[in-house]
Amino acid sequence: MSQRTGFAAVLWSSCLAMLAVGTNSTAIMAALPSMRTELGLSAAGVEWAVNAYLIVSAAFIVLGGQAADRFGARLASMAGLALFAVASWIIAAAGTQAELLAGRALQGLAAALVAPGTLAAVDTSAAPERRAAAIGAWTCSASASDRYSAACSRTSRAGA
């Protein structure tokens, strides 16, 4: 694989990973009303369904960066994405509030690996003259998923 092809693959896969992880918020926000009913979530349970992810990802983001440094950005990113998939399955199969919250916390841990891992992969694979544009593209993909999630959240609240 040539340097140029390798860089493009890293950039695209890193941006898609950030979009996938970021748009998860949209799915959770859209599913909260049915999760509340089907799982019998308390008001605090609904809040924790959102906050468990945020708290764990914030708490472990530095360790995610250290994992990318120690084990390599590619391995940290792939481990994070695999863990994110497992956590998503746990959430989909959840039958109780505790299972849902465990899955959301695990998703937060996974995101703490994916974000710094993909950023490090983009940073190290880009030629110095392309690094700023590559990091800008990565940032845009992460931001786009946040904007999409926020817009969908506003739309679902307006329809409720």
Residue range 7-32: mean pLDDT, rounded: 87
Q: What is the 3-state secondary structure (H, E, C) of 96-145?
A: CHHHHHHHHHHHHHHHHHHHHHHHHHHHHHCCCCCHHHHHHHHHHHHHHH
Domains of the chain from N-terminus onward: 3-155 (1.20.1250.20)
pLDDT tens-digit series, residues 49-108: 999 999 999 999 999 999 999 999 999 999 999 999 999 999 999 999 999 999 999 999
What pTM was computed for the model? 0.83
